[in-house]
Amino acid sequence: MMKNFSRVLTLLVALLVPLAIIMLAVRLLLTPVFLQVEYRMPGFPDDAYGFSMQDRLQWARPSVEYLVNTAGIEYLGDLKFSNGTPIYNERELSHMHDVKDVVQKLLLIWYVDLCILLALGLLAWKGDGWVEYLAGLKWGGFLTSGLLVFLAVFASISFWQFFAWFHSLFFSGDTWLFEFTDTLIRLFPIRFWQDAVIAIVGFSMVAGLVLGFGLKRDAK
């Protein structure tokens, strides 16, 4: 009975770890720090329609903040250029509303995931399942790295196909497609998303390997 419980504990923890790590990487990217770094990356494309780096920082920051705060779409709808023109059109605002809904739901799932991991850790610490808990963290780290290898290969073969597949999981139709002259594309060109995926994959793989190999002596 206890042996079966130990296996279940290890398996459950291992399955919870990938989401915990990957969403941590995503949350780190949803900060002004990533914007500051990304727009200064060598070779980052200039905006063909006139945005400077400072313009991009000025408008991208509230766009990212909107995704993680509790404000309504007016948070973005009220933003205007110096000539009084709204920075986003109705189609862009509708998409940002949808993106926020997805982000908020994923963050909620992440918080629940972390709480379960913490609760299982406390129970394991107080009981006699600490070794099995550490084993779950270890194998969860390896599982994370394995999943990210698959994702990296998929994205490297055809990033646009990967990008379209990812959007098809969360958005209907072509609501995520915009004109090159639209603010969303000018702030967040395809290079932005390529670098974001590289950052998420890189961080998650390293974190997974650290867990996997770092806990090797303590876990089964």
pLDDT, mean over the chain: 92
At a CB cut-off of 8 Å and minimum separation 6, what does 215 contact?
Answer: 134, 135, 137, 138, 141
87 by Cβ neighbours in 10 Å (0-12 / 13-18 / 19+) ranks as buried
Q: For residues 147 and 145, what is the distance between their CA atoms, to the nearest angstrom?
A: 6
Beta bridge partners of 86: 80
If pLDDT is split at 50, 70 and 90, which confidence band does 214 have? confident
d(CA 62, CA 93): 13
Confidence label for 119 from pLDDT (cuts 50, 70 and 90): very high
Q: What confidence score (pLDDT) does residue 220 get?
A: 45
Q: For position 69, what pLDDT does the model report?
A: 96
The pLDDT, as a whole number, for residue 23 is 97
pLDDT of residue 216: 60
User: Is the model's pLDDT at 3 over the cut of 90?
Assistant: no
pTM: 0.91
